[in-house]
Amino acid sequence: MSPDAIKQDFESALVKHFSFKAKLRSFLYGNSNSEGPLRDPDQCGLGKWITTRREGAYAHIPEMKELDQQHRVIHQRANELMDKHLAGQRDEALAGFSEVQERADYIVRLMQTIEGKLRIAQA
């Protein structure tokens, strides 16, 4: 895969990741979204991206396993916050979003590390 193709692939993954965060924030502020992609890491756009790459072109990158694990943890936390919101604990749910944001930032750093390794290997 060319460096440009790798860059584009990771840009699309970041868009999927940012979309998840935006949809979760929107849900916590009371806007209904389909809960499936927010609750289930395997329905999420980034989750599908990770599974395809982890089992395919990026299988040799050790950080892909960590990325998958962290992605699943962020969905677990999203489930907890969504459940609080639905139980009427809206302030607690919103307060917990900062933890999701910290984990999301870590996921971005992991993706940058993986992309960097792939681009170096192609150079």
| Res. 122 pLDDT band, cuts 50 70 90 | confident
Backbone angles phi, psi at 83, to 5 degrees: -65, -40
Predicted model pTM: 0.92
Determine which of 1-5, 83-87, 108-112 has the lowest per-residue pLDDT on average. Answer: 1-5
State how far the Cα of 67 lies from the Cα of 52, in Å rounded to an integer.
13
**What whole-number percentage of the chain has pLDDT above 90?**
88
Mean pLDDT of 89-113: 96
Q: Which amino acid is at 36?
A: G
CA–centroid distance for 19 within its chain: 9
> How does pLDDT run across 35-71, given as a tens digit for each residue?
889 999 999 999 999 999 999 999 999 999 999 999 9
Q: Which domain holds residue 56?
A: 3-122
Please give the tally of structural domains in the chain: 1
pLDDT at position 123, please? Answer: 65
CB contact burial 27-48 (16+ within 10 A = b; e otherwise)? bbeeeeeeeebbbebeebebbe
The CATH number for 88's domain is: 1.20.120
State how far the Cα of 53 lies from the Cα of 31, in Å rounded to an integer.
32
Mean pLDDT for the chain overall:
94
